[in-house]
Amino acid sequence: MENLFLKTSDGVKIAVNHYKSNKNEVLIIAPGWFMTKDSRLFLSIANEFKSRFDVLAMDFRGHGKSSGSFTFTSKESADLKTVVDFARAKYEKVYLMGFSLGGALVLIHGAAEQNVDKIIAVSAPCDFSKIENHMWHKGAWFMTIFKKADLRQWLSIRPSLSGLIAGKKVKPVDIVDKIKTPTLFVAGECDPTVHAWHTQALFDKAVCEKHFELFEKCFHAEDLFMQDKERFLKICGNWLDTPILKSYI
């Protein structure tokens, strides 16, 4: 694995783990808020997919080893665009996999740029202002404290209060119908943070080749990988394989 730093158009350094094995396809992994490319779960996700594709796992600004402050999707599109531009110069096929707010950002990129080959959005909110974030729900605090606790990575998070409160945010539901790229929408039935209706609303409005997958009794974003690893890898792997399986169309 190679550690890279790429610079965005507004001068932010984006840290990337590049898993290289000379393939002509690359999967870009975009974690959500409070997760980094070096969080244990995301290291596991990258390691699972690196046998099938080269992998670029990134830290959004304000996370991990990237510079800047996290603006809750107001400015992070520039981060993803920088990584996609790097990938497009090196690979024949570029795939996006985003989780939670990372899922929102891969959809926003797909609508704006039209330069990737497949998209997977896991637990993406359709509208930032409608995120439920029921932290008192057992599915939220239990998974965070007992399954995903990673103090070193958590201490690396640097949020922007102005970005949270006043930053202009694109609503994925307003742009999802502009995506032409085949897109897989994935949600957890018991998600306490971004309820499954968000993903259903995005899927319903999308006009691209698409599929909706609901993980029963599962929670939020990367939790789906942890709670039902075999199914998650099979569903996502099959979607990324070319050509798209007829069962998904």
pLDDT for 7-50, tens place per residue? 999 999 999 999 999 999 999 999 999 999 999 999 999 999 99
**Beta-carbon contacts of residue 136 (< 8 Å; ≥ 6 apart):** none
Judge whether 83 and 28 are in contact, CB under 8 Å. yes
* CATH number of the structural domain spanning residue 146: 3.40.50.1820
pLDDT at 244: 60
Dihedral angle, C-alpha 123, 126, 129, 130, nearest 10 °: -70
Q: What is the pLDDT of residue 141?
A: 45
Query: What 3-state class would DSSP assign to 56?
Result: strand
Given this model, what pLDDT does residue 81 score?
99
pLDDT-derived band at 242 (thresholds 50, 70, 90) equals low
**Which pLDDT does position 150 carry in this prediction?**
76
Q: Find all residues with CB under 8 Å of 215, minimum gap 6, and list them.
A: 186, 187, 188, 189, 224, 227, 228, 231, 232
Tokens 């997760």 sit on residue? 35
Domain, as residue range, for 216: 2-248
Pair 151, 157: CB distance under 8 Å: no
Q: 204: buried, middle or exposed (CB in 10 Å: 19+, 13-18, 0-12)? A: middle
Say if CB 14 and CB 83 are below 8 A apart: yes
Strands 54-58, 93-99: pairing kind: unpaired
* pLDDT for the residue 135: 58
pLDDT (0 to 100) of residue 143? 54
What distance in Å separates the CA atoms of residue 88 and residue 70, rounded to the nearest whole number? Answer: 25
Residue 247 in this model has a pLDDT that exceeds 50: no
Q: How many domains does the chain fold into?
A: 1
Supply the DSSP symbol for 176.
Answer: G
Residue 124 CA to residue 103 CA, distance in Å, equals: 5
pLDDT higher than 70, residue 147? no
User: Residue 249's pLDDT band (boundaries 50, 70, 90)?
Assistant: very low
Whether the pLDDT of residue 168 is over 70: the answer is yes
Report, as an integer, the average pLDDT of 181-205.
98
Q: What is the pLDDT of residue 138?
A: 53
Residues 84-90, mean pLDDT to the nearest whole number: 99
Q: Is 187 helix (H, G, I), strand (E, B) or coil?
A: strand
What's the mean pLDDT when you consider all of the chain?
Answer: 92
Q: pLDDT band for position 142 (50/70/90)?
A: very low
